[in-house]
Structure 1
Amino acid sequence: MLRDILRGTGVALVTPFNEDKSIDFDALASLINFVIEGGVQYIVTLGTTGETPTLSREEKLDIIQATFSFVANRVPVVIGIGGNNTAAIVKDIETFPIENAVAILSASPYYNKPSQEGIFQHYKALADSTTKPIILYNVPGRTGSNIAASTTIRLAHEVGTIAGIKEASGNMSQCMQILRDKPQEFMVVSGDDNLALAQIACGMDGIISVAANSFPKDFSLLVQAALDGDYDTARRYNNLLLRGYDLLFAENNPAGVKAVLSELGIVKNQLRLPLVPLSAGIHNEVRDYLKTLK
């Protein structure tokens, strides 16, 4: 079951850029090694943390191929394929080189604000286009609409290749409804780093994390301890990282992650417009915080 394969910490990779804003593939290799050596269970490439709205189709194809090459079968890979044009996403699913991926992560359509029936039919169309498992991604703070618990449960029960959800609504009641009513094999993972401990305690299977780019070892140990029921250890790591979560999302994502990774010498502090690097004041706070982790 996908739920067993992806239990633990997944990391939604950033896309490293050079000063000229081209993709820095050497840095991508270094980042992949950093997070795998840090203990993450799997990698998500082309998630929204990877600034996918600013990537061309050709760049996405290059990143997929490079990711598989750099991962070299050490951990499973999930590919993000989403958007707000259902037909275009279906075409991408049918034509992207996803053979070696264990699943597709697809965010609910943004801006359109579809009804719950529209969301259901959107995901059903995606599922009908592939035999790959699909992981729903609910992040209403970015998409402008919420996948209701009832819609998630309907998809989980009625559409065979809908295999899980990354829940980033921040609504604990909604998350608990999904955990109560889902099929046994349906995977539920957190999409909120600062809620992962509490959500795993409620029954989630782990997380697809932003923070695991920056703090893979500590964050992976936190998640594993929580999954093992060792909440004293999990709380200790979570308390250590609480300030880090705030700094990563202080201005925009992934500016916080790239600030940390640039301080660690792994990627350059480069983003594509409309995103910009952290302001000098917050970046200085990042430097000070990193000293507390050593």
Structure 2
Amino acid sequence: MAIFKGAGVAIVTPFKDNGEVNYPEFEKMIEFQIKNGTDAIIVCGTTGEAATMSEEEHMDVVKFCIDKVAGRIPVVAGTGSNCTQTAIELSKKAQEYGADAVLLVTPYYNKATQGGLYAHFGAVAKEIDIPIILYNVPSRTGCNILPETAVKLAKDFDNIVGIKDATGNISQTIKMMSLAEGSIDLYSGDDDQIVPIMSVGGIGVISVLSNVAPQQTHEICAKCLEGDYETARELQFKAYPLVKALFSEVNPIPVKTALKLIGFQPGPLRLPLTELEPNNQEILKNEMKKYGLL
């Protein structure tokens, strides 16, 4: 059974001006997501700036999210690392805290071979019982899980059940799904490819757009799951200009600005990320108006 179907939000982590996590604001964001139909929350992923957190802080944020969601929808904890032992420790802690699943990004900087990727993910899978979603985002990590490797992992380890595909390579995705024979749940990792990914067997998206448009992102997925691809396609087209604006600079720079514009207080970004450039702020604001968010 799938961890979730539909739109899972890759939720932002709000910070105070002094750099500490703003937990009261984070709770508001969690409640906003649940109220507006988000199907799952993915905490401490790329969008949550997990790469700038200490391990203790990282897991405190994960636990807070799990506790506040309180079983209303699934919570997937980002626990990936380029150090296999660290990924194991974070994943075991997430399981202890009650996460429904973990999201494991490919080891960044190390640039493991396919054999190394198999060994890395397999090592984590052996240490936990909860489901694992692999996260393939070569543009950020310099490392690509090839279709054969993803499928072998899914078939060899019962708890490796899904993959977040942010390759942007639909040909690779199709090859993987053709080899998988139903052994792997596919989630789009790109908001501009929800419909294409779901049309070849995907069951949802792990979304940045959902931070500001949870209902709309859920609806795109819902129409795909209903088989109404004509409506889903139109909704995808409508969202495209806003999605483009949300990725005008590296994620999560634009989406933190977008959250400010709809009344949240996401706070500053942690270095090395910096604030959205003024011209891109104007573009983002205009696209949010056109989309009906402002």
For 2:9 and 2:77, the matched residues in 1 are separated by: 11
Closer/same/farther in 2, CA of residues 160 and 249 from structure 1, 3 Å limit: same
Residue 119 (str. 1) matches residue 121 (str. 2): no
> For 2:14, what is the secondary structure of its paired residue?
coil
Deviations 1:258-286 (A, max 9, x none): 11100011123410000011111111122
8 Å Cα contact 1:38-1:217 kept in structure 2: yes
Cα distance, 1:16 vs. partner?
0.5
For 2:67 and 2:160, the matched residues in 1 are separated by: 27
For 2:80 and 2:107, the matched residues in 1 are separated by: 7
Matched ranges for 1:94-173 at <5 A: 94-96=92-94, 98-173=96-171
Q: 1:76 aligns with which of 74, 77, 83?
A: 74
For 1:196 and 1:20, the matched residues in 2 are separated by: 36
Q: 1:277 aligns with which of 275, 280, 292?
A: 275
Q: 1:25 aligns with which of 23, 26, 33?
A: 23
TM-score (norm. length: structure 1): 0.95
8 Å Cα contact 1:13-1:45 kept in structure 2: yes
Q: 1:175 aligns with which of 164, 173, 176?
A: 173
> For 2:68, what is the secondary structure of its paired residue?
helix
One-letter amino acid matched to 1:158: D
Cα distance, 1:61 vs. partner?
2.3
Task: Give the aligned length.
Answer: 292
Q: 2:220 aligns with which of 192, 203, 222?
A: 222
> For 1:136, what is the secondary structure of its paired residue?
strand
One-letter amino acid matched to 2:18: D
4+ long deviations beyond 6 Å: none
Closer/same/farther in 2, CA of residues 185 and 151 from structure 1, 3 Å limit: closer
For 1:131 and 1:70, the matched residues in 2 are separated by: 23
One-letter amino acid matched to 1:220: H
For 1:282 and 1:221, the matched residues in 2 are separated by: 27
Deviations 1:131-184 (A, max 9, x none): 111111100000101100010011111122211111111111111112112142
8 Å Cα contact 2:151-2:183 kept in structure 1: no
For 2:151 and 2:70, the matched residues in 1 are separated by: 35
Deviations 1:8-65 (A, max 9, x none): 1111111111111111111111111122222111111111111011111221122122
Closer/same/farther in 2, CA of residues 96 and 229 from structure 1, 3 Å limit: closer
8 Å Cα contact 1:61-1:97 kept in structure 2: no
Closer/same/farther in 2, CA of residues 40 and 95 from structure 1, 3 Å limit: closer
Cα distance, 1:186 vs. partner?
2.3
2:41 maps to what in 1?
43
Cα distance, 1:199 vs. partner?
1.0
Q: 2:9 aligns with which of 3, 8, 11?
A: 11
Gaps of 5+ in 2: none
For 2:71 and 2:128, the matched residues in 1 are separated by: 22
1:198 maps to what in 2?
196
1:254 maps to what in 2?
252
Q: 2:230 aligns with which of 219, 229, 232?
A: 232
One-letter amino acid matched to 2:282: N
8 Å Cα contact 1:156-1:183 kept in structure 2: no
One-letter amino acid matched to 1:254: P
Query: Could you tell me the percent identity over the aligned residues?
Result: 37
One-letter amino acid matched to 1:36: I
TM-score (norm. length: structure 2): 0.95
One-letter amino acid matched to 1:114: A
2:266 maps to what in 1?
268
> For 2:130, what is the secondary structure of its paired residue?
coil
8 Å Cα contact 1:31-1:267 kept in structure 2: no
Matched ranges for 1:51-66 at <5 A: 51-66=49-64
